[in-house]
Amino acid sequence: MNLQVLRQQRDALQLRAPEPNWPKGDAPMRQTAADGSHLPAEAPTTPGTSAAEVRTPGASNADIRSFAVYAAEFLAIVLASSFSAAVYGQFLHGAPENVIEFLGIGTTTALLYCGPGNMLGSKNPRALSQLESRIRESVWAWAVACALLLLMIFMLKAGAVLSRGAMLTFFITGLAAVTLVRGFLAPTLVQMVRRAAFARRGAVVITQFADQSLPALLTSLRNAGYASPITVMIDPSGSAEHWTKERKRVLDRVAEYAKTMAAGEIFLCASDVPRSRLRSLKTGLSLIPRSLYYVPDESMSQALHGRHISEVGDRVTIEIQREPLSSAEQIAKRIVDILGATFLLIVLLPAFALAAFAIKLDSPGSVLFRQSRRGLGGRPFDILKFRTMHVAENGPEIRQARRNDRRVTRVGRLLRRSSLDELPQLINVIKGEMSLVGPRPHAVAHDEEFAKIIENYEIRQHVKPGMTGWAQVAGLRGETPSPDAMAKRIEADLWYARNASLWLDIQILLRTAIAIFAQPNAY
């Protein structure tokens, strides 16, 4: 990405030039190219609109569409609360529960769902295009909302006055309601709002002839909710006299359209306009009481899409790469790791004792095996495992375990088959060296070897190594006898690093629990 080009374009927009004398009442000029030939019309015209200034069909505002989906979910949750109280009470006691009380519960839960629930676990509904994604996000947001509600009830000591049965019924019916709205009704709501008449914002697009990205930009504006965008073409080439007339025509037309818009913005697409002419055009547009947005060219827009723009001192900075998890997500993941690992350590303590006893009886040596691995950011740490071999390799050359490997002990074979040899890594998780979910850490010798033959291998160290990972539940566990086999595992690790989330971690943990005793590649 050429940040220098973007910086030059931004600087050109910020520089000042003498304010122009605004012409009044001049008719629009017929556009000519630099060689004097007339440029062809690019689209059919409508009365009062030139060939270069074509209205496109309107669309609804994306924020309104998003609000419509949230409003429908809010209403569905409130109705589910009163429905649950009425049905549960009628079925169990022959009379409805306190419906008014549950309306308050429903309203509180709806606020938690549309607010913290979606911020912590869900994307904006307008960004959810796939059914599976919409359902997944609604389920996660509902789980967060219910957890926050239960926390509030606990803190307020209100549990004694609420029916547990009615609450459970509400949680189930509420989940069904939000899943129905977000998963199946949201697309219909969006289409209804698209056809509604309350999207009144206009847009004027100033662009150059032969701009191949114009159709995509107009589509984006329509999807964003701008009603009937207007295109004003500009020819920045030619002599100074030609530019003076061209600039005057463009400013006149933009001012005329701005007066007819109750609300709207101006979008300037001028990546190839010389800096001095871009500067003077921006100065003239500054006299029009409308917001002005500069649109980079298509390649720059793609590079900047979704990036965070901030200021460091007096310099503008663009985030072109971020950590896989935000700070809030890292904190949440760490809390889950500590609680989950501590719980598993306590529950599995008998298994620890039994494994240690069996290892001691089976072969001489220590119970635990330590080996140097690389964690987050390539920082070294000692991974803990139950010893499953007669040897303890931790040098520059380490052979992977193979089927019928003579180095593996009898007890070790059972431990490796059931993955019980990995249990001591719960201590690594509590210490913060590992996570419950993440790419499996390799021996340092293997890291150095694979980094030489697999491109972008080090990216897997952008997240903490885990006890289980996406590669493991995808069937890519075990020996990697060839670069191709390792490349497939690394590809899965990189996919996880790019898509890491708490919801994905939960999915991986569930799939691990199901498949832990059915992994044919573990030996």
Inside any domain, residue 523: no
- Supply the CATH number for residue 257's domain: 3.40.50
Torsion of CA 418, 424, 426, 428, to 10 degrees: -130
Q: Give counts: helices (H), strands (E), the chain.
A: 19, 10
- DSSP class of 376: G
342 and 477 in a single domain? The answer is yes
Name the domain boundary from 262, 288, 318.
Answer: 318
pLDDT for position 482: 67
Q: What is the dihedral of CA 62, 67, 72, 78, to 10 degrees?
A: 160
Rounded distance, CA 221 to CA 75, Å?
30
Q: Are residues 260 and 287 in the same domain?
A: yes
Q: Is residue 452 part of a domain?
A: yes
Give the end of a domain, one of 152, 177, 195. 195
Q: Which amino acid does the sequence have at 87?
A: V
Residues of the chain with pLDDT under 50: 1-3, 5-62, 120-129, 197-198, 395, 522-523
Domain of residue 439, residue span: 327-515
- In 3-state terms, what secondary structure has residue 437? strand
In a domain, 377, yes or no: yes
Rounded CA-CA distance 476/465 in Å is: 16
> Are 397 and 452 found together in one domain?
yes
Q: Specify whether 453 is located in the same domain as 356.
A: yes
426-482 pLDDT tens trace: 999 999 999 999 998 888 887 887 777 777 778 888 889 999 998 888 877 666 666
In a domain, 158, yes or no: yes
pLDDT computed for residue 341 by the predictor: 92
Looking at the structure, do residues 359 and 489 belong to the same domain, yes or no?
yes
The contacts of residue 463 (CB under 8 Å, 6+ apart) are 324, 325, 376, 435, 438, 439, 496, 497, 500
In a domain, 295, yes or no: yes
Within a domain: 521: no
Domain count, the chain: 3
Is residue 520 a part of any domain in this protein?
no
Q: Kindly report the CA angle at 58 between 55 and 63, in degrees rounded to 5?
A: 135
Task: Check whether residue 48 and residue 73 sit in a common domain.
Answer: no
What is the pTM assigned to this prediction? 0.48
Structure tokens that stand for 46 in this block? 């409508």
Do 307 and 358 belong together in one domain?
Answer: no
* Cβ proximity of 481 and 383 under 8 Å: no
Q: Does residue 522 fall inside a structural domain? A: no
Out of 166, 195, 224, a domain closes at 195
CB 509 within 8 A of CB 468: yes
**Is residue 305 located within the same domain as residue 372?**
no
Largest CA distance in the chain: 100
Amino acid at 484: D
| 441 shares a domain with 331 | yes
pLDDT for the residue numbered 159: 61
Mark whether 389 and 479 lie in a shared domain. yes
Amino acid at 288: I
Residues 155 and 169 in one domain: yes
- 72 and 26, same structural domain? no
